[in-house]
Each structure stands twice: as structure tokens, then as C-alpha cells.
């Protein structure tokens, strides 16, 4: 049993840290953006309070009486200030966002008795100067007035890209093991208990990975002990079966004798099938399956000949096609598939075709196609499980113990070959064996 590691750096903590770092980075990026997009000489101009009276006095003098708007425009640029002039005859502003005098009148600080007074409206400072027949309003320029949008757009793109990339890689790192975990669970559910899940983390995901490893080990041990029991019982059944067979021959009633003979034969076939599956798996686990370059076309032709069945149509793209395989085992696998195709298709024909997959040059395909009752989609995965038979009641009519395809799967796995099943209920089934 693997010990559960202590969580040192939980995912929750990691996420909090990521959020803090991200907020800091966003702040930094905004600062960087302002620094980058606003020219240096303008940076300080919108800090601090409203333009002071001596400055206003100086500007008013420059503007003259009545105020000269073109001069006002030039002064705005020179002093980074916005100006609004309102007299009986002139209504001019350097920026429409500078409020009109009537909008400032409601403010407490609005004091017409003074020549110059200061107002804070919407957190912006304004200096208001009384002139002949009107007012001049001064305010520091708005920050957005200084933003150079030509420079700003690439800066925004760079900042957003960098931040998003950082966020993506951080999240990927934090949740990376989730993908490994889901792959491992898929492997386990498909019966593969070999691969060890390697997640070296001191957080909840690391713990989950350890738990999955432990669970996998105990399930695998449980299955192994059940299998051992099954194999032992099968072994032990052989002698009593032989004894029953011999004893049955002494029964006088011909009908009873035949029934016992058939039942014993059925049990013997089941026991042999089980022991055969076990023997094959042991051999492949011990690495004692010998492979040699074999002509799959000839092997299939010989096999078909043994069936002595005129319903089989054979076709091959090649005269000879060499594949590295164990002859005895591939014969068993193909025999089981062909046997099923004949069994489950009444008296319709069965096509066997050997061809190359043009998309994947190295693949040799053996297709066994029947036009029988077919298999429902949800049954396709299950038919490879030992002792699985779709319609148990069929068993009475069609012999079999549900061991054939589990053996096929095992043999093909040992050959790193694939098996793909396509079936349309009512129309037939295709078993495609792909040698890589």
C-alpha cells in the first residue's frame, strides 16, 4: 500500500496565489500601459490640484479682452490645460467634457463674489475665473487626452497576449494531472491494470493519483485471485468429467446416455476454453509467444479450407503478404471470428477480404463480414468480455460459452493488432483485424 502524501501546497492555495499574482500583473500592466502610451512630459500634468491663480492670471492676460479663442487653443497645448470660455458673445471650449458654467453653479464652492475660485466636481479640479461678461474655466487635461492610440493598440495586444499565455500555462500546470488521471481511469475501465499512474505532486491531485494506483492494485489482485480460483476449479473438473463420461457409457437407456454425453461434452469444451485462455495469457505475460514472418494470405486460405463451407467468399488484394505473427494463435483468433460469422448469420454468405489501408500504408487488414443478425451498438464493447453472450436464450440454439472473442482480443493485443467491429442490427457485422 502506498502511503498518502501530506498536502503541502493545496490546489486551493495555488489558485489563490495565481489570482494574486495575476491581479498584481494586471496592475503592473496597466501602469506599464500608461507609461508606454503617454509621453513623459505629460505624465505629471494631471496629478495635483487645479491650475493656481498666478497661472490663471497670466493666461487671462495672454487671452486679452475679449478672449481670443485661437490664442486659447495655443495656450491649452502649451500648458496641458483645458479651457472653456463663456461670455455673452463667445462660447468656446478646448474639450466638450469641460462642464459649462451653468453645470458648476450648483456646486457649493461656486462663489461669484470672488474673481477666481476653485471647484471639485466629479473628482476633477476646476478653476473658474470671472472676466468681463462671463467666465473662463480651467482644468488640467484629462489623461485620455494624452493617450497615443497608435502606440496603445499594439501595447494592449502585447499585454493581453502575455497575460493570457501566462494564465493558460499556469492553469495547465495546476490542472495538468487531471488529463493523466482521466486516461488512467479509462485504462482501468478497459481492463488494463499495468500502467502506473505517475503524478508527483503534493496536492489533492497527487493524493488522488496515489489512491487510483492503490485501487488499481487491489482490483487487479482481486481479479487475479478469482481467476486462479476459476482455473483451479476447471482443472479439478477434468477428472470427474472423465469419470462421468466413462460411467455414462454403462447406462442402459440410450436417450439418457446421449443427453449425459452431450452435457459432458459441453462442460469439457467450456473447461478446455478456459484453460486455453489462461495458458495463452500466461505465455504472453511471460513473453514466450514467438513471432515469425508469416504469409497471412496463405494462412487465411488454409483456415477457410478447413471450414469446408461454401458460404465463405475470399478475396485478397495481394498474392502474398508477410506479417510478423504467431501462426497458431492468429489461426485461433481468425477461426473464432469466422466461426461466429457463420454461426450468427443463418445460412447467408460470409465475405473475407485482405487488403491494405491506403491512408496508412503499413497496415494489413483482414475483414470478416457477415450478413446476419448484427450486434446492437451498446453490446459491441461487451462481446469481448469473457463469458459474455448477447442473447442468453440464443445459447440453446447456437452453441458457445462467450469465450471466443475474449480470446481473440487477447491474441490480437499480444500482436499489437487492433480489432474494429462495425455492425448494423438486422443487416450484419464486420470484424476488421488490423495488423500494424
Q: Give strand pairing partners of 325.
A: 292
Q: Which residue is nearest to ligand ADP (CB)?
A: 400
- Piece in contact with ligand ADP (CB under 6 A), picked from 10-18, 251-259, 276-284, 382-390: 382-390
348 contacts 371 by C-beta, under 8 angstroms: yes
Q: Per CB under 6 A, does 199 bind ligand ADP? A: no
Whole-angstrom Cα distance, residue 266 to residue 281? Answer: 23
Q: Per CB under 6 A, does 405 bind ligand ADP? A: yes
Whole-angstrom Cα distance, residue 86 to residue 165? Answer: 52
Whole-angstrom Cα distance, residue 23 to residue 314? Answer: 69
Place of cell 491494470: 193
In the complex with ligand ADP, the residue whose CB is nearer, 37 or 340, is: 340
Q: Per CB under 6 A, does 375 bind ligand ADP? A: yes
Whole-angstrom Cα distance, residue 352 to residue 409? Answer: 19
Give me the least distance between CB of 320 and ligand ADP, in Å please: 28
In the complex with ligand ADP, the residue whose CB is nearer, 156 or 275, is: 275
Q: Per CB under 6 A, does 371 bind ligand ADP? A: no
88 membership: H or E segment, kind and range = none
- Piece in contact with ligand ADP (CB under 6 A), picked from 107-115, 203-211, 212-220, 396-404: 396-404
In the complex with ligand ADP, the residue whose CB is nearer, 216 or 389, is: 389
Q: Per CB under 6 A, does 277 bind ligand ADP? A: no
- Piece in contact with ligand ADP (CB under 6 A), picked from 49-57, 129-137, 202-210, 371-379: 371-379
Out of 199, 383, 411, 419, point to the residue binding ligand ADP (CB under 6 A): 383
Out of 341, 366, 411, 419, point to the residue binding ligand ADP (CB under 6 A): 341
DSSP three-state, residue 370: strand
Give me the least distance between CB of 375 and ligand ADP, in Å please: 5
DSSP three-state, residue 108: coil
SS (H, E, C) 113-146: CCCEEEEEECCEEEEEEEECCEEEEEEECCHHHH
Q: Per CB under 6 A, does 402 bind ligand ADP? A: yes
Q: Per CB under 6 A, does 401 bind ligand ADP? A: yes
Q: Are strands 91-93 and 81-87 parallel, antiparallel or unpaired?
A: antiparallel
Take residue 45 and report the three cell numbers written for it: 500634468
Whole-angstrom Cα distance, residue 208 to residue 199? Answer: 9
Q: Per CB under 6 A, does 333 bind ligand ADP? A: no
Give me the least distance between CB of 372 and ligand ADP, in Å please: 5
Q: Per CB under 6 A, does 390 bind ligand ADP? A: yes
In the complex with ligand ADP, the residue whose CB is nearer, 99 or 374, is: 374
Place of cell 476447471: 234
Q: Per CB under 6 A, does 352 bind ligand ADP? A: no
CB atoms within 10 A of CB 76: 19
Whole-angstrom Cα distance, residue 38 to residue 146? Answer: 6
Out of 94, 338, 372, 412, point to the residue binding ligand ADP (CB under 6 A): 372
Whole-angstrom Cα distance, residue 406 to residue 19? Answer: 51
Interacting residues with ligand ADP (CB under 6 A) = 336, 340-341, 344, 370, 372-373, 375, 383, 388-390, 400-406, 429
Amino acid at each position: 500500500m502506498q502511503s498518502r502524501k501530506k498536502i503541502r501546497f493545496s490546489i486551493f492555495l495555488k489558485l489563490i496565489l495565481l489570482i494574486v499574482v495575476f491581479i498584481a500583473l494586471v496592475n503592473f500592466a496597466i501602469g506599464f500601459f500608461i507609461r508606454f502610451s503617454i509621453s513623459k512630459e505629460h505624465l505629471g500634468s494631471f496629478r495635483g490640484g487645479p491650475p493656481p491663480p498666478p497661472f490663471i492670471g497670466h493666461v487671462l492676460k495672454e487671452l486679452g479682452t475679449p478672449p481670443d479663442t485661437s490664442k486659447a487653443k495655443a495656450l491649452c497645448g502649451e500648458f496641458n490645460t483645458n479651457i472653456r470660455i463663456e461670455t455673452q458673445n463667445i462660447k468656446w471650449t478646448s474639450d466638450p467634457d469641460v462642464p459649462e458654467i451653468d453645470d458648476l453653479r450648483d456646486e457649493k464652492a461656486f462663489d461669484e463674489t470672488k474673481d477666481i475660485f476653485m471647484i471639485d466636481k466629479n473628482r476633477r479640479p476646476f478653476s473658474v475665473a470671472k472676466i468681463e461678461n462671463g467666465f473662463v474655466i480651467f482644468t488640467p487635461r484629462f489623461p485620455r487626452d494624452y493617450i497615443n492610440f497608435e502606440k496603445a493598440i499594439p501595447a494592449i495586444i502585447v499585454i493581453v497576449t502575455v497575460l493570457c499565455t501566462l494564465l493558460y500555462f499556469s492553469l495547465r500546470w495546476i490542472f495538468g494531472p487531471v488529463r493523466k488521471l482521466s486516461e488512467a481511469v479509462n485504462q482501468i475501465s478497459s481492463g488494463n491494470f499495468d500502467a502506473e499512474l505517475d503524478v508527483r505532486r503534493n496536492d489533492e491531485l497527487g493524493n488522488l493519483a496515489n489512491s487510483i494506483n492503490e485501487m488499481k492494485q487491489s482490483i487487479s489482485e482481486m481479479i487475479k485471485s478469482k481467476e486462479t480460483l476459476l482455473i483451479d476449479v476447471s482443472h479439478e473438473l477434468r477428472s470427474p468429467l472423465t469419470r462421468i463420461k466413462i460411467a455414462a457409457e454403462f447406462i442402459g437407456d440410450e436417450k439418457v446416455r446421449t443427453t449425459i454425453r452431450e452435457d459432458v461434452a459441453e462442460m469439457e469444451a467450456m473447461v478446455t476454453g478456459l484453460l486455453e485462455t489462461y495458458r495463452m495469457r500466461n505465455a504472453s505475460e511471460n513473453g514466450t509467444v514467438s513471432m515469425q514472418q508469416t504469409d497471412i494470405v496463405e494462412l487465411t486460405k488454409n483456415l477457410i479450407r478447413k471450414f469446408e463451407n461454401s458460404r465463405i467468399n475470399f478475396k485478397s488484394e495481394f498474392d502474398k503478404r508477410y506479417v510478423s505473427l504467431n501462426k497458431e494463435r492468429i489461426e485461433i483468433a481468425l477461426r473464432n471470428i469466422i466461426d461466429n460469422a457463420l454461426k450468427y448469420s443463418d445460412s447467408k454468405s460470409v465475405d473475407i477480404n485482405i487488403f491494405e489501408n491506403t491512408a496508412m500504408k503499413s497496415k494489413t487488414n483482414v475483414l470478416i463480414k457477415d450478413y446476419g443478425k448484427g450486434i446492437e451498438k451498446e453490446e459491441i464493447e461487451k462481446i469481448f468480455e469473457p463469458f459474455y453472450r448477447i442473447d442468453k436464450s440464443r445459447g440453446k440454439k447456437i452453441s458457445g460459452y462467450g469465450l471466443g472473442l475474449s480470446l481473440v482480443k487477447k491474441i490480437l493485443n499480444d500482436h499489437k493488432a487492433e480489432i474494429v467491429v462495425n455492425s448494423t442490427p438486422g443487416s450484419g457485422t464486420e470484424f476488421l483485424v488490423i495488423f500494424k
